[in-house]
Amino acid sequence: MPKLDIMNLEGQRVGDIELDDAVFGVEVKEHLLWEVVKQQLASRRAGTHSTLRRGEVRGGGKKPYRQKGTGQARQGSIRAPNHVGGGKVFSPKPRDYSYTVPKKVRRAALCSALSLRAQQRRLVVLDSLELPEAKTRRMATALRALGLQSALVVDRADNVQLARSVRNLPYAKYLAQEGLNVYDVLNYESLVMTAAVARQLEARLGKGGAEQRSAA
């Protein structure tokens, strides 16, 4: 099992923790990371692009000149795609780019991302992320004390003080444990979480969680 130090917000070691190999020590499968990141980014696309096709451009109902005898190429409408101001060929229309991948693939990809950060020693486990008040400066000081330049901070969904303290930092992002995803883990250099959140992830993503899901 990967064994990591438990730090506090002042950058001091206060203990250690052994993490579950089934979540933080699996083989990193890059193709799963690629597949899930691609799915996440595709789902974020607005898909609102739209241009006019030939039948949607106003005007051009009359044949511009007679078919023969002019010495020019025959034309049926000034709104044909070969004319300036005409319609577009195979133009984009609003569409939904989102698609899904199997739950097992998403779980395996997330475990690969967590294991990658653990192997790189970029997984920082803290004893607590409780702040007395929402202060951006307090969180910026804590990240500097931990030696982090870019970090994804994960904690409970109801930790409002932490969320408000992180949201104005351009190099950090707060996520609730339930919203942890592959893209955000890979998008930041380091991953910060409490020991309690690490145990919750082990319960949710580990073998015990998989057995409970299969039984249900």
**What does the block give as tokens for 155?**
């904690």
Question: pTM here?
Answer: 0.83
Q: Are 188 and 172 in contact (CB under 8 A)?
A: yes
Identify the pLDDT of residue 1: 58
What pLDDT band is residue 3 in, cutting at 50, 70 and 90? Answer: confident
Residue 137: CB partners within 8 Å, gap ≥ 6?
none
Provide Rg for the chain, Cα atoms. Answer: 27
Q: Provide long-range contacts, Cβ within 8 A and 24+ apart, for 119-124.
A: 119/2, 119/28, 122/189, 122/190, 122/191, 123/4, 123/24, 123/190, 123/191, 123/193, 124/7, 124/148, 124/151, 124/190, 124/191, 124/192, 124/193
Identify the pLDDT of residue 216: 45
CA-wise closest residue to 152 among 127, 120, 178, 186: 186
- Write out pLDDT tens, residues 113-149: 999 999 999 999 999 999 999 999 999 999 999 999 9
Arithmetic mean of pLDDT, 179-191: 96
- pLDDT at residue 97 above 90? yes
- pLDDT at residue 208 above 70? no
Arithmetic mean of pLDDT, 41-52: 95
Fold of 3-45+100-215: Ribosomal Protein L4; Chain: A; (3.40.1370)
CA 137, CA 135: separation in Å to the nearest integer? 5
- Write out pLDDT tens, residues 32-43: 999 999 999 999
Domain ranges of the chain: 3-45+100-215, 47-96
Average pLDDT over the chain, rounded to an integer = 92
Arithmetic mean of pLDDT, 48-69: 91
Arithmetic mean of pLDDT, 205-215: 61
- The torsion angles phi and psi of 30, rounded to 5 degrees, stand at -65, -30
